[in-house]
């Protein structure tokens, strides 16, 4: 079983693994958002990756933007299963979310830098 902090850390690490080798640099984020939400952000030139945990709605979102002022070119949203009770996340749910995020990241990684 994992906590939300452990889940967000695991998913953030999944993004970090590929982002650094592709020239993305992690941008510092101030603390936690509303309702305990979390955000992690990476930039490569004008391109931006944003991983967001919405603690109120209990979903995780990844966006790839060619530039911060443009709509997301690639977006993925993962939700916790109905079994989530607000305490811990099962290992299988954590694994499923990481697998789905990894597939979404493959779309980002297949893009050439600077292309919309």
Tens of pLDDT, residues 44-86: 999 999 998 877 777 889 999 998 888 899 999 887 665 555 6
Report the range of poorest mean pLDDT among 14-28, 61-75, 84-98: 84-98
All structural domains of the chain with their residue ranges:
4-109
Report the range of poorest mean pLDDT among 13-22, 67-76, 77-86, 105-114: 77-86
Q: Residue 88 pLDDT > 70, yes or no?
A: no
Max mean pLDDT range (7-11, 48-52, 86-90): 48-52
Report the range of poorest mean pLDDT among 4-8, 26-30, 50-54, 86-90: 86-90
What pLDDT, on a 0 to 100 scale, did the predictor assign at position 91? 77
- Please report the beta strands in 11-100, taking only residues with DSSP state E, as ranges in sequence order: 25-27, 38-44, 47-54, 59-65, 74-79
Confidence of residue 37 (pLDDT cuts 50, 70, 90): confident
Query: What gap in Å lies between CA 97 and CA 34, rounded to an integer?
Result: 22
The pTM of the full predicted model, rounded to 2 decimals, is: 0.81
Residue 23 CB coordination number (10 Å): 12
Residue 60 CB coordination number (10 Å): 21
């Amino acid at each position: 079983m994992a906590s939300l902090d452990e889940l967000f850390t695991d998913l953030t690490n999944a993004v970090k693994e590929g982002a650094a080798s592709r020239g993305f640099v992690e941008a510092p984020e101030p603390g936690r958002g509303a309702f305990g939400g979390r955000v992690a952000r990476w930039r490569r030139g004008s391109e931006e990756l944003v991983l967001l945990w919405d603690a109120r709605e209990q979903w995780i979102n990844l966006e790839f933007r060619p530039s911060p002022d443009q709509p997301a070119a690639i977006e993925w949203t993962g939700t916790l299963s109905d079994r989530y009770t607000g305490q811990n996340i099962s290992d299988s749910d954590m694994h499923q979310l990481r697998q789905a995020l990894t597939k979404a990241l493959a779309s980002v990684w297949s893009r050439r830098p600077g292309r919309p």
